Amino acid sequence: MSFFDEADEPQTQPRMRRPRGGGGRPPRRGGRSPSQQQQYLVRRVAAGAVLLVIVIVLALGIHSCEVSQRNTALRNYAAGVAVLVADSHQTSQSLFGDLAKGGGAVALQNEINNLANGPGGAVSQLSRLKGLSVPDEMKPAQTKMVLTFQMRSDAIADIASRVQSALSKSGADAVNAIAADMGILYGSDAIYKNYAGKEIAGALHGVGITPNSLNGPPISDLQFVPNLQWLTPSFVAAKLGTSVPSAHGKPTPGTHGHQLNSCSVAGTTLLSGGGNTLAANPPPTFSCTFTNTGQNNETDVVVKVQVSGTSAKGQTVEPQTTAGQQYTVQVSLNSPPPTGVHTVTATVEPVAGETVTSNNTQSYPVTFH
């Protein structure tokens, strides 16, 4: 055979013909039957529903966290205010205690000035109040709280600056100014109790929190001024142990004066003949009864109690007495008297136009133990 001879041609397979007539087209590769499409659609709807539930749960969770954070912020603010009000009340107790116990003018001024500007004093309390985190619902109350504490800070500082003058012989103007400062302090009580405190309570109630309950924050009802008599110059002067600013002109016609009837301690009437025994500490409070024996009404009637030979003393003021009427006042000593036997002298100070003063005073021998 020659290499040039042609090779035999390969035989080809005959092409298969598609039968005619019926018979559907076979499904394309990757296609889905109607049942598969339906299952796919169901799965997509189910997945969408699950996703929607997740979104709702997340939204509710976020909202719940926001509500919890807001409520916590409201509670924290109310609790912070309550702490500051309690601290301010302690300042009040120190202030009025210092004013009532008397002492040297310089020492008293320093003590009161420390209550205003010292560590933990009124200025510090105001600064702490301004530093509180204030939720939007509490902003109206915060504005009034700042005013409350600003008034207290200013008034205490002014009282400190006037004490030395008030204790001098010509201290009537300073006493009047201190009484005016007491009015500012009482005004701070009104702002807190009638406005700020109610707004704090309203914000808490608005989110379902009940203040002063087992689970609610406290709202204190403490007030700064313990006695409205502090707003009268005569009462301030009496507590300071200085002269009462005179508001009297020429006495009206008719008799004037008072008679001291008796004094008692804890319900036991003191006897002028002796046999009286009292505890020295805490300093006793004397209930003294007296009568307006004149024909005129009187104002700013001073009643004093003094333990002889000691610095223990006290005085108070009855703002007004009516002719023929009887009154009982409470006089607390400024310090415990030393133990032993001492004479306690109680006196109703003479008023303008009083000529008979022999019945204004009574003395009682007392054994203090």
**Angle, alpha carbons 61-64-70 (nearest 5°):** 140
- Per-residue confidence at 58, pLDDT binned at 50, 70, 90? low
The whole-number average pLDDT for the span 254-278 is 96
Domain ranges of the chain: 59-240, 258-368
User: Which tokens belong to 46?
Assistant: 């189910």
Quote the strand ranges of 14-55, DSSP E: none
Helix (H) or strand (E) holding 287: strand 285-292
**Angle, alpha carbons 340-345-351 (nearest 5°):** 165
CA–CA distance, 177 with 173 (Å, rounded to integer): 6
Residue 34 confidence (pLDDT) above 90? no
Q: Left if phi > 0, otherwise alpha if psi is -120 to 50, otherwise beta: which for 238?
A: alpha
- Which residues lie closer than 8 Å to 290 by C-beta, 6 or more apart? 258, 259, 260, 261, 301, 303, 326, 327, 329, 348
Which pLDDT does position 5 carry in this prediction? 44
Residue 161 confidence (pLDDT) above 70? yes
Using one digit for the tens of pLDDT, what is the confidence trace for 287-299? Answer: 999 999 999 999 8
Residue 245 confidence (pLDDT) above 70? no
Residue 317 confidence (pLDDT) above 50? yes
Residue 302 confidence (pLDDT) above 60? yes
The string of DSSP codes covering 163-201 is HHHHTSTT-HHHHHHHHHHHHHHHHHHHHIIIIIHHHHH
The whole-number average pLDDT for the span 313-317 is 87
Residue 343 confidence (pLDDT) above 90? yes
CA–CA distance, 224 with 88 (Å, rounded to integer): 7
Pairing between strand 326-332 and 285-292?
antiparallel
Residue 356 confidence (pLDDT) above 90? yes
Superfamily of domain 258-368, CATH level 4: Immunoglobulins (2.60.40.10)
Residue 4 confidence (pLDDT) above 50? no
Residue 213: C-alpha distances to residues 68, 201, 209 (Å): 18, 12, 9
Q: Looking at the DSSP assignment, which residues form a beta bridge with residue 301? A: 318
CA–CA distance, 307 with 311 (Å, rounded to integer): 7
Which pLDDT does position 241 carry in this prediction? 82
Give the highest mean pLDDT range of 6-20, 61-75, 207-221. Answer: 207-221
The string of DSSP codes covering 130-154 is HTS---GGGHHHHHHHHHHHHHHHH
Q: Token match 């702002």: residue?
A: 191
Side-chain-side CA neighbours of residue 89 (13 Å): 12
Which pLDDT does position 62 carry in this prediction? 64
Residue 326: C-alpha distances to residues 160, 269, 294, 299, 329 (Å): 37, 17, 12, 14, 10
Mean pLDDT for the chain overall: 87
Other CB atoms within a 10 A radius of the CB of residue 361 amount to 13
Measured over all CA atoms, what is the biggest interatomic distance in the chain, rounded to whole angstroms? 175
Residue 76 confidence (pLDDT) above 60? yes
Which pLDDT does position 50 carry in this prediction? 76
Q: Looking at the DSSP assignment, which residues form a beta bridge with residue 318? A: 301
Residue 184 confidence (pLDDT) above 80? yes
